Structure 1
Amino acid sequence: MDVFTRNQYKNILVENLAYCRENNGLELFAWCIMTNHVHLIVRAKEGYTLSSILRDFKKYTSKKVIQAIKENPQESRKEWLLDQFRTSEGFTPPLARICNPCFVLSKTKNKHAVSN
C-alpha cells in the first residue's frame, strides 16, 4: 500500500532514521523511500544489535505514521489506510510489512561482509 506518497509520512520516517543514527547505534549507509516500502543498507554500531534497533525504529515510526494518518484532515484515504493496518488486536504496524533492510553490513576480522 502506498503510505509514503505524502511528504508528511515520509518525513516521519526520515526524522526517525536520523534519531536512530544519533542515539540508537544505527549506521545508515544508504536508503531509498519508495511509495510502498523502504530500502536500507545498514548495520549496528559496536555494542548495539541491529534487530533491536530495527524493532524500535519500526514500532515508533509506525505509531507516528498511524497517528499522522488519523490526524490529517486532508487525507482522502484515511479510512482505507487505517483499515489496512487494523487487526482484531488493534493495529499492525505499517513498517512491519514494508520496511526490511536490503543488505546488512557486518564486520568480520577487519573485513566487511554483506548479507541480504
Structure 2
Amino acid sequence: MPSRRVPVDLNAGTYFLTLTVQRWYYLFDRHNRWPILADSIRYCREHKGLELNGYVFMLNHIHLIVTSPDLTGFLRDFKRFTSKQLKENIAATEPGVLKLFVDDAGTYRLWMDTNAPKKIENPDFYVQKLNYVHENPVRKGYVARAEHWVWSSANPDSPLEVGILS
C-alpha cells in the first residue's frame, strides 16, 4: 500500500508526490479546475516557502516534485483549500457529481488519503521522477510530446513557474 504520510523526521526536503482524486474520477479537464490547483500552488510558493521543482496535472491526479520546509503543512493546506474550492466549482457546474465524493458517513472527501511521498535524495532519482512526471500525458496518449501538455513543467510556456533542481 502506498505511504500516506511524510515521516516527521523527514518533513523538510524535496519530495515526489502523487495526489489522486477519490475513485480516480476524471475531474480536472473541465470547468476551469486546473487553475484552482495552480492558484493554490502559487499561494504556497509565495506564503509557505514551497519550491515547485516539477509537476503535471492530469485528469484525475497530479504529480509534484516540491521542496518545502514543512511538507506535511503544505499537503494539509493544499488539499484542504483545493477540496473546498473544487467542491464549490462542482456544486455550481455539475452538482450531481458531488455525491461521488461523499463517503458512507456523509463526509465530503475529494482527495485520496495517500500522497505516495518519495524523498528525493540524489540527482539520478530526481531526473528519473521528473522524466516520469513529464512523460505521464504521453504515456496516456493525450499528447505526442511532453512539452505539448499545457499543465506540465515540461511545457516551456507552463502556467506555473518551476525552479528545476540542479
Distance 1:84-1:13 versus aligned 2 partners, 3 A rule: same
What is the count of residue pairs matched by the alignment?
102
* C-alpha distance after superposition, 1:33-53 (max 9, x if no partner): 000100100110xxx310111
Note if 1:64 corresponds to 2:88. no
Q: TM-score, normalised by structure 2?
A: 0.53
Distance 2:72 2:47 in 1: 15
Q: TM-score, normalised by structure 1?
A: 0.73
Note if 1:84 corresponds to 2:93. no
Q: Is the 8 A contact 1:30 1:40 kept in 2?
A: yes
Q: Could you tell me how far 1:25 is from its partner in structure 2?
A: 1.4
Q: Please, which runs of 5 or more residues in structure 1 have no aligned partner?
A: none
- Equivalent residue in structure 1 for 2:115, among 100, 104, 110: 100
Note if 1:2 corresponds to 2:2. no
- Equivalent residue in structure 2 for 1:15, among 31, 34, 39: 39
Match of 1:32 in 2: 56
Q: Is the 8 A contact 1:16 1:61 kept in 2?
A: yes
SS at match of 2:60: coil
Q: Is the 8 A contact 1:32 1:40 kept in 2?
A: yes
Higher strand share: 1
Distance 1:27-1:61 versus aligned 2 partners, 3 A rule: same
Distance 1:113-1:49 versus aligned 2 partners, 3 A rule: farther
Amino acid at match of 1:65: L
Identity of aligned residues (%): 32
Q: Is the 8 A contact 1:25 1:53 kept in 2?
A: no
Q: Could you tell me how far 1:89 is from its partner in structure 2?
A: 4.0
Match of 2:76 in 1: 55
Amino acid at match of 1:59: R
Q: Please, which runs of 5 or more residues in structure 2 have no aligned partner?
A: 1-24, 130-166
Runs of 4+ in 1 over 2 A off after TM superposition: 98-106, 111-116
Q: Could you tell me how far 1:90 is from its partner in structure 2?
A: 2.3
Distance 1:90 1:83 in 2: 10
Distance 2:88 2:123 in 1: 39
Distance 2:101 2:73 in 1: 22
Distance 2:58 2:84 in 1: 19
RMSD in angstroms over aligned alpha carbons? 2.7
